[in-house]
Homo-oligomer: A and B are copies of this chain.
Amino acid sequence: MARPRTALLSRDIIGRAAIELVESGHELQLVPLAKRLGVSVSSLYHHVDGRDGVIHAMREVLVVEYVTPVPAADGWEDAIRREVELMWRMYADHPRVLQLMLTVVIDEPGALRFYSTLTDALDRAGLPDDEILSTIEVIDAFSFGAALDALSPDTILQSERTSGKLASLLPRRATGAVRNREVFDRGLDLIIAGISARVREARDGPKSPSRDPGRQGGLRG
């Protein structure tokens, strides 16, 4: 067979098969990928630019699937929660794909909407202009890190080697997807609460700092 009248492959088909392959615990390798598609390895190169091209195709599939229109929210908090929830689901459902994307520069589509929605929400919340972008990046970095947390084993610490308060807490800890979701929810709650506090602080004027002025105010790294 050469040049079938209806194409066997496409970026989309390759991307989906690659996601399946990786998410089922295998390495991203072209040989197993081609076998899974019933095709020879060199055929892939007609649709995709090598292994990195496959990674891009994987991302395109996920973006189409996850970056859907989101209903407008009433408050800034909800706007943030809805937008981040979407990004989070994409990350958390496919942590192994996420890991691969680290190795390739991504020309991020979808990031545009993420950034502008969050910009408007934080602006509406009353956050000072010069803190908006870094705050968005905090949210993004956290979602990212929390999703990758899903790849780490459940028991980083064996409770035998611990003592004190920590030892008493470890046995009660959730595991797997439940723990992972807990971490995400907790983090988003904390960050949003932190933003609220920061907004209040900025509104009440910089002349009444709530903390020791030598310590607070960040960004003098």
Contact = CB atoms under 8 A, between A and B. Distances in A.
A131 B32 CA distance: 43
Contacts of A187: 138, 141-142, 191
Nearest to A189: B218
Interface in A111-135: 111-112, 115-116, 119-120, 123, 129-135
Interface string A74-98: 0001100000000000000000000
Interface string A174-205: 00001101111111111111111110000000
Contacts of A149: 137, 140-141, 144
A166 B102 contact: no
B169 A218 contact: no
B130 A165 contact: no
Contact of A103 (B99, B112, B143): B99
Given A161-B112, A191-B190, A218 B145 contact: no
A182 B221 contact: yes
A137 B137 CA distance: 18
A43 interface: no
A170 interface: yes
Nearest to A151: B102
Given A102-B148, A186-B219, A221-B182, A112 B170 contact: no
Contacts of A65: none
A78 B214 CA distance: 12
**Main secondary structure on chain A at its contact with chain B?**
helix
Contacts of A182: 134, 219, 221
A218 B185 contact: yes
Contacts of A151: 102
Given A123-B165, A141-B145, A194 B189 contact: yes
A1 interface: no
A72 interface: no
